[in-house]
Structure 1
Amino acid sequence: MEDIGSNQNKNVAGLSFKDLSKEEKDSFNATSGEFLFVNEEIGEKNSLMDARGKFIQFINTKKQRKDVFAFVIELLSYVYTRFRVALILLSVLFDIFSDFINFFKDKIVKRMFWGRGTFLKSALQVTLSFMVFILIISYVYRRPVVIEASADTLASVGVLETDTIVATASLNTLVPKDRGRTSTIDYIVKRGDTISSIAAANNVSTQTVLWANDMSENDYLKLGQTLAIPPQDGVIVKVVKGDTVESLAKKYSANAADIVDAAWLEAPYKLTTGVEIFIPNGEMPTVIAKRTTTSTPSSYQQSSIKYSGGVADPNVGRFLGWPVGGPSAISRGFFSGHYGIDFYPTGGSRPSVVSACAGTVISAGWGYWGTNYGGYGYYTHVDCGNGYTILNGHMDKLYVSAGQHVGKGQALGLIGATGVAYGVHTHFELRRGAGLGGRINPAPYMQ
């Protein structure tokens, strides 16, 4: 049998991948059959290996020059080397992590298999312990919350001392028919209307309608004419430069506190020039009003509106005490637009505001706008436990907090003038339930 290897050695006299030039080829004393070339035209065309060799030679030449290009080449070479090292390290770390996962998995499987449920029990115990810990931490460090409740659910709502409960009305709450308006409305004159009939229909005087529309008794109404109807007796005036609450009260024979309430002003009671405001119970300067002199300070003139009277609920009777714990008197009573009684100190000092009934504080703090307590300043709202609640406002500071039980006559805070208040006093309200719609005159219920 012929030796294949020996035949191959005979047929292949030489094997070369070298780039041979034409002169080098001619210098060989061998026939073309004595050599095997990968590419017969290797001496005439550039191969991939030849290009790579020339590129490496070019790079090495540039490196020797020590210029900017050489620096860039060295930097790229260094980055490439480090990148390869990083890939190797990541590969090793991944293998270690994979081995650790497999080891841990095997341990868990063995423990669950041989422990017959012991591991599951331990896991549940750890989970429950962690949940209890989170609940304890959240209770200790939790922030005060605001709880909203309607008057119907007020008795069943429990709050902590750090919480605030806000009683709100539902969307279906109807506005009581006897609640007075707080803003001026437009009235379109119809056939058969007179000034007196329009005034009577809106519970204001004829003179109030005439003043509001710059009319006299001799003027005639026109069909379709628009009349401004104030919310109650008084005058509508435009503020001019230099006007103050006190100057307007003096000019229009009104009470400065009524102006502050109607315009929702807070200290320092700044008026905006050019804005129309309503002055409750005011009179035009052309009308001479009889003034009475009292011992009450000018800031606390007695309101011209008397108590509307009324009969107390026979189920509760006169259960309210005096809401101020020192010498004090009434500066303003209950009327449409002022749904409470104002008490001011008369002894030269500032006494405490006290609870007029025994009960639970359902809300206490600052009366922010947008809530049922906007404009009251620092206030307290106490549930008397018999379906009625009382509210005291405008205090300088509070002595109680929401959720606290108070006795009748217990101090609630220091009398002041915070919120929409003119002069130091407390605004005292009685409500059926807790909503604004339940405000009634406290006088028939006071002892």
Structure 2
Amino acid sequence: MKSFVKGESKTKKTSSGFARHLEFKKGFLKNPFFYFGFFSLFLFGLLFFSSDGLVGISHSKNNAAGFYKNIDNSENNDLFFNQNKLLAVETPDLKIIQDNFVYGISTPHIVTTQVLGSMFGESSLVDRKEIIEYSVESGDTIKGVAGKFGVSEDTIAWANNISKNSALKVGQTLVILPVSGVLHIVKAGDTIGAISKTYKAKMEDIISTNSLSGELDIFIGDILIIKGGSMPPKPISSIVSAPLNESLFIYPAEGQITQGLHFYNAVDLANKCGAPVYAAASGVVQRVRYGWNFGGGNQVTILHAGGIVTYYGHLMTIFVKPGDSIDVGQRLGLMGSTGLSTGCHVHFGVTGAKNPLAKFFIGSVIKYK
């Protein structure tokens, strides 16, 4: 009897505990925070296991870190005044670069029709979107060259300041426009309306051919293709290339000169992809363009004192934007091979002054002291 009473008491305790458990569970299930927490956990798990986004973020950060470790001077802020780690303002977008271009060196871009044919295909020599430089071959005439590229004889003559009747020399370099017309370099006071009247061309053609946003979208030093235009009888005043005060200018990058002075008043300076490119002097950023751009690739132009404009082409990544005030030696971007390019280099052009790199021979190595 004694043991039975104990057993009954134990049974009552067990039943009572089970009842409290049921009451707790019912109360817990009625709590809305339970369902919110469960749903949140389920959603997080679904996102985590169905996407590699979190892994990709970590992977891209590791790639970027490795990329910068391989860039010369990326951590050297004493090269030009105080850079304040401007490289960190915008990380490169890490575009996919062909393996043979990562450490590729640019070769001269003056080409023959055979080279152009292999690059674009024979039929596309006529249907081009870039300004090229052509090396005259034996037997070439202005009429023949014009026919090869689908432009007028006048276009060839005007772009190269020669007569239609001029005899061509083997090895002579000719600037070839993608369409028949005239080249114009924008000067202070120029407007699209005035330019169109001067060359008897349509304003809409000038705007569309040069990918301008409108009539006001021109800057000093811009090189415009005037489609369908013709050279006026009275010569257009040319841009004066005044001597450059080299004490105010620096070289835009370290590297090797791979092509001497060529269109337009430019020199090619090659290095590995990702090498930093700097502003040659203080000024204001006029243009920042991405894409093909007549073969110039990603590019920046800067207006300096005295109306001098410097141009930096074929960049991989750009760190500045239009309107930015730039100090001499400020990092503009990273050297690349965008546009019509055979290797990583910067196409450094100067409008309104002599190019400070023009004095170096091809093969010269430029290094900062």
Per the TM superposition, whether the score is higher than 0.5 is no
TM-score (normalizing by structure 1): 0.29
Superposition TM-score, scaled by structure 2 size: 0.34
Task: Flag the structure with larger Rg.
Answer: 1
